[in-house]
Amino acid sequence: MKLIGSPASPYVRKVRVVLAEKKLDYQMLPDDPWSATAQVPAYNPLGQVPCLVMEGGEALYDSRVIVEYLDTLSPVGKLIPATGRERAAVKTWEALADGVLDAGVLARLERHWPGRQDGERSQAWVDRQFGKIEAGLAAMERQLGAQPAHVQPYCSGIHLSLSDIAVGCALGWLDFRFPEIDWRTEHPHLARLHDKLALRSSFADTVPR
């Protein structure tokens, strides 16, 4: 398998962490989707990363589809429950974490889109996206703190799941792109989870850059 993506992308990182946790072999193909010479449009017509290219040349995208597929390839460290409410809960955590990232990406693009003058940027739009980030973090904090840490050390119970991977990648990307957001002070349960995940090689080896 080949994974096309940018080391800076939190969506790519989510896939890389899952690959590491599942102990699956793959080849990383670094790619800048914004470049005129990007590789990814040849496999994903939307030109977005991550994109997983399989041995026969078939391509999977986006990150949610890819990690769903990867979890079926190995019995090691099952990350997504097979059925029922537990599965829905894990996927909801993933949707929430990805939603925080989506808002962050939109805010960053509005702030830094090349060629725009300051007067052409919408602060109201940026503020709206930051409101989504704050609301998402607050919801994660409430859910993670609903039980004592010794009872529920992870987002969805006592074992690492895709919930934690998605949240950890979102928090790491906020540190990378928005270091001015002091999410740790107001969200100590998230800070504890982030610090615990950072000790895993799957996270330590994929810090965005």
Report the pLDDT value the prediction gives residue 116, as an integer from 0 to 100: 83
Q: What is the pLDDT of residues 173-188, one digit of tens each?
A: 999 999 999 999 999 9
- Judge whether 175 lies within some domain: yes
Based on the fold, state whether residues 26 and 119 are members of the same structural domain.
Answer: no
CA distance 114 to 155: 38
Based on the fold, state whether residues 91 and 66 are members of the same structural domain.
Answer: no
Report the pLDDT value the prediction gives residue 115, as an integer from 0 to 100: 82
Q: Of the candidates 45, 70, 95, which is a domain's last residue?
A: 70
CA distance 88 to 93: 9
Based on the fold, state whether residues 157 and 113 are members of the same structural domain.
Answer: yes
pLDDT tens digit at each of 209 positions of the chain: 999 999 999 999 999 999 999 999 999 999 999 999 999 999 999 999 999 999 999 999 999 999 999 999 998 899 999 999 999 999 999 999 999 999 999 999 999 998 888 889 999 999 999 999 999 999 999 999 999 988 999 999 999 999 999 999 999 999 999 999 999 999 999 999 999 999 999 999 999 99
Domain boundaries, position 49: 2-70
Could you give the angle at the alpha carbon of 75 between the alpha carbons of 70 and 76, nearest 5°? 90
Based on the fold, state whether residues 152 and 200 are members of the same structural domain.
Answer: yes
Based on the fold, state whether residues 196 and 103 are members of the same structural domain.
Answer: yes
Helix (H) / strand (E) element for 52: namely strand 51-53
Based on the fold, state whether residues 37 and 63 are members of the same structural domain.
Answer: yes
Domain count, the chain: 2
Based on the fold, state whether residues 50 and 105 are members of the same structural domain.
Answer: no
pTM of the model: 0.96
- Judge whether 98 lies within some domain: yes
Q: How many residues does the chain have?
A: 209
Cβ of 41: how many Cβ atoms within 10 Å? 13
Based on the fold, state whether residues 6 and 35 are members of the same structural domain.
Answer: yes
Among 186, 88, 91, 203, CA closest to 137: 186
Q: Of the candidates 10, 38, 70, which is a domain's last residue?
A: 70
Based on the fold, state whether residues 176 and 94 are members of the same structural domain.
Answer: yes
DSSP code for 36: T
Residue 185 sits in a domain of what CATH number?
1.20.1050.10
Q: What is the pLDDT of residues 187-205, one digit of tens each?
A: 999 999 999 999 999 999 9
Based on the fold, state whether residues 63 and 126 are members of the same structural domain.
Answer: no
Region of 84 please: left (phi>0), alpha (psi -120 to 50) or beta.
left
